């Protein structure tokens, strides 16, 4: 187990500086254009693939970094560049982690490389869990997967929504119900290989922020996938379902809590994205406050402005510490006894919303225009309190964990 540290080691600093250079030189200059176009920034993803930032190797290295700081550091730097473009670069990782966490070695080796493609032919992947009637309430999924034993195939029907890269992905990972009586324990994840008949893109959403990232519905109509596409395999699924049925008989609450624990581990990564956006807006505001003069002096000379900046920076640093602590705990298998993963996501995402709004205020009229980036950063920041569990759901998880009560 690695000791918790608040400092990056020399190797991590080198990687951070390299990521920062890419964010500053490639991502940030392209941000306004792709925000306006509301299209996937393929050339930027390609550039990221060329230098090695968009690759399985790079993410695996950060994911398995024992200090736990590899992923938060990566997210913070890329999202500092621009949230929409950064999500287009890291969105595939959501699906890849789904396979890494649940797949067999063969599935990992077969599908993850196809999610990324290569620098000459980049591909993306999508993780499809949310549905029109199952957002926060993940247990109420309706997409159904039925096993056709004669053909050793699964038949999937349903509609997924809000899928990042949905419909444009080479590989889709789809969560579906295999046993409707078991709530979230009756779910399983499936690979839908490239070109599978029956999978199509529904509407593509026009969004408030992170507009360079593609978000769409995914419609599944009699989608047939081979038995080998069930993540983890049939034997493991059957064993898991039998255990869940047994546990459900003894007490449903324990089943529910186990499902929540998995989310806890991925939430700090979203917190780190929020820290990146917040830091970017704070830096713009600090520089502006030092150079903009009113009443014959820089506006930062007023405590009213300087104190806002002091609060912004304090919150950002506090958010990063919560994120780093939770990431270290997740990588080192420390139990989240106080829902520390949810805490980090809650605090960092609310911080990003508040700090980006304060940055607009400090830039005055300029902050409200698209001539300056803080307006875009504020729109982007709104996503962090929504996806991977809304702020209300984080509070629910924290309160339930602290009290042990089934708070509603
Ligand atoms: C841009 C974007 C990208 C996304 N990417 C993906 C993706 O790649 N894959 C994927 O599967 N999903 C994705 N999502 C879905 C996202 O995770 C959901 O939007 C989120 O979980 C919230 O679900 P919902 O939108 O249905 O809101 P709802 O669950 O309907 O919530 C609406 C409001 O009610 C509140 N609420 C709900 N239940 C409670 C409660 N018990 N107590 C208190 N308040 C409550 C919520 O906090 C929220 O404020 C994405 C969403 C967006 C917007």
Q: Which of 168, 390, 397, 407 for a ligand 1 pocket mutation test, highest count of atoms within 8 Å of Cβ? A: 390
State the distance from the centre of ligand 1 to the C-alpha of 392, rounded, in angstroms.
Answer: 10
Confidence (pLDDT) at 251: 67
Give the pLDDT score at 135: 96
267 CA to centre of ligand 1 in angstroms: 14
Question: Is 188 a domain residue?
Answer: yes
The answer to whether residue 37 sits within a structural domain is yes
Pocket of ligand 1 (CB under 6 A): 94, 127-130, 135-136, 162-164, 207, 210, 215, 383, 386-390, 392-393, 396
Per-residue pLDDT of the chain (408 residues; tens, 9 = 90+): 788 988 999 999 999 999 999 999 999 999 999 999 999 999 999 999 999 999 989 998 999 899 999 999 999 999 999 999 999 999 999 999 899 889 999 999 999 999 999 999 999 999 999 999 999 999 999 999 999 999 999 999 999 999 999 999 999 999 999 999 999 899 999 999 999 999 999 999 999 999 999 999 999 999 999 999 999 999 999 999 999 999 888 765 444 444 455 567 789 999 999 999 999 999 999 999 999 999 999 999 999 999 999 999 999 999 999 999 999 999 999 999 999 999 999 999 999 999 999 999 999 999 999 999 999 999 999 999 999 999 999 999 999 999 999 999
Give the separation between CA 344 and CA 65, rounded to whole angstroms: 19
Q: How many residues does the chain have?
A: 408
What is the number of other CB atoms lying within 10 angstroms of the CB of residue 359? Answer: 30
What is the C-alpha to C-alpha distance for residues 294 and 113, in angstroms, rounded to an integer?
55
Q: Is residue 4 part of a domain?
A: no
Q: Note whether 115 and 150 are same-domain residues.
A: no
Nearest CA to ligand 1 atom 35: 392
Reported pTM: 0.96
The residue whose CA is least distant from atom 27 of ligand 1 is 135
Q: Of the candidates 235, 36, 63, 219, which has an alpha carbon nearest to the alpha carbon of residue 142?
A: 219
Residues 275 and 391 in one domain: yes
Question: Residue 2: its pLDDT value, please?
Answer: 85
Q: CA Rg, the chain, in Å?
A: 22
Does the residue 305 lie in any domain? yes
Q: How far apart are CA 400 and CA 408, in angstroms?
A: 9
Query: Pick from 250, 272, 304: which residue ends a domain?
Result: 250
| Same domain flag for 204 and 134 | yes
State which of 215, 250, 285 marks the end of a domain. 250
> Could you tell me the distance, in angstroms and rounded to a whole number, from the CA of residue 386 to the centre of ligand 1?
6
Q: Is residue 3 part of a domain?
A: no
Contacts of 306 (CB under 8 A, 6+ apart): 289, 300
Q: Is residue 176 domain-resident?
A: yes
Q: DSSP for 201-226, please give it.
A: EEEEPP-SS-TTS-EEEEEEEEEEEE
The residue segments making up the domain with residue 209 are 125-250
CATH number of the domain enclosing 156: 2.40.110.10
* Total domains present in the chain: 3
Q: Distance between terminal CA atoms of the chain?
A: 36
Question: Which of 130, 212, 263, 408 most suits a substitution to test ligand 1, by most atoms within 8 Å of the C-beta?
Answer: 130
Q: Say yes or no: 89 and 145 in one domain.
A: no
Question: Which residues carry out catalysis?
Answer: 388
* Nearest protein CA to atom 29 of ligand 1, as residue: 136
Tell which residue, 74, 32, 73, has the closest CA to residue 52. Answer: 74
Last residue of a domain, one of 221, 250, 279: 250
Same structural domain for residues 246 and 270?
Answer: no
How remote is the CA of residue 351 from the centroid of ligand 1, in Å? 19
Q: For residue 5, is it within any domain?
A: no
In a domain, 74, yes or no: yes
Output the CA 57–ligand 1 centroid distance in Å: 31
Structure tokens at 139: 């247990």
CB neighbours of 170 closer than 8 A, spacing ≥ 6? 114, 115, 117, 123, 124, 125, 194
């Amino acid at each position: 187990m690695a000791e918790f540290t608040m400092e990056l080691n020399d190797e991590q600093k080198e990687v951070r500086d390299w990521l920062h250079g890419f964010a500053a030189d490639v991502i940030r200059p392209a941000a306004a254009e792709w925000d306006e176009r509301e299209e996937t920034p393929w050339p930027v993803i390609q550039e990221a693939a060329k230098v090695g930032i968009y690759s399985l190797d790079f993410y695996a290295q950060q994911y398995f970094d024992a200090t736990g700081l590899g992923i938060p550091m990566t997210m913070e730097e890329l999202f500092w560049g621009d949230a929409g473009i950064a999500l287009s670069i890291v969105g595939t990782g959501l699906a890849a982690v789904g396979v890494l966490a649940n797949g067999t070695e063969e599935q990992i080796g077969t599908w993850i490389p196809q999610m990324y493609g290569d620098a000459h032919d980049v591909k993306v992947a999508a993780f499809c869990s949310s549905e029109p009637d199952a957002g926060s309430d993940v247990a109420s999924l309706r997409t159904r997967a039925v096993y056709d034993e004669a053909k050793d195939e699964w038949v999937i029907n349903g509609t997924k929504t809000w899928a990042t890269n949905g419909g444009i992905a080479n590989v889709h990972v789809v969560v579906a119900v295999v046993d409707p009586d078991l709530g979230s324990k009756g779910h399983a994840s499936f690979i839908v290989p490239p070109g599978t008949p029956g999978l199509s893109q529904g509407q593509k959403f026009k969004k408030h922020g992170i507009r360079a990232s593609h978000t769409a519905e995914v419609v599944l109509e009699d989608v047939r996938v081979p038995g080998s596409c069930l993540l983890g395999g049939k034997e493991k699924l059957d064993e898991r379902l039998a255990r869940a049925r047994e546990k459900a008989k003894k007490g449903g609450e324990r089943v529910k809590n186990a499902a929540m624990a998995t989310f806890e581990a991925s939430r700090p990564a979203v917190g780190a994205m929020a820290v990146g956006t917040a830091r970017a807006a704070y830096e713009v505001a600090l520089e502006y406050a030092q150079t903009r003069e009113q009443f014959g002096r820089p506006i930062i000379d007023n405590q009213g402005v300087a104190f806002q900046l002091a609060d912004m920076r304090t919150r950002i640093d506090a958010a990063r510490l919560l994120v780093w602590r939770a990431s270290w705990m997740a990588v080192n298998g420390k139990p989240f006894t106080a829902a520390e993963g949810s805490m980090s996501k809650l605090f960092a995402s609310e911080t990003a919303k508040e700090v980006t709004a304060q940055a607009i205020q400090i830039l005055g009229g300029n902050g409200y225009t698209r001539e300056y980036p803080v307006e875009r950063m504020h729109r982007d920041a709104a996503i962090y309190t929504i996806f991977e569990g809304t702020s209300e759901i984080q509070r629910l998880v924290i309160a339930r964990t602290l009290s042990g009560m089934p708070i509603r």
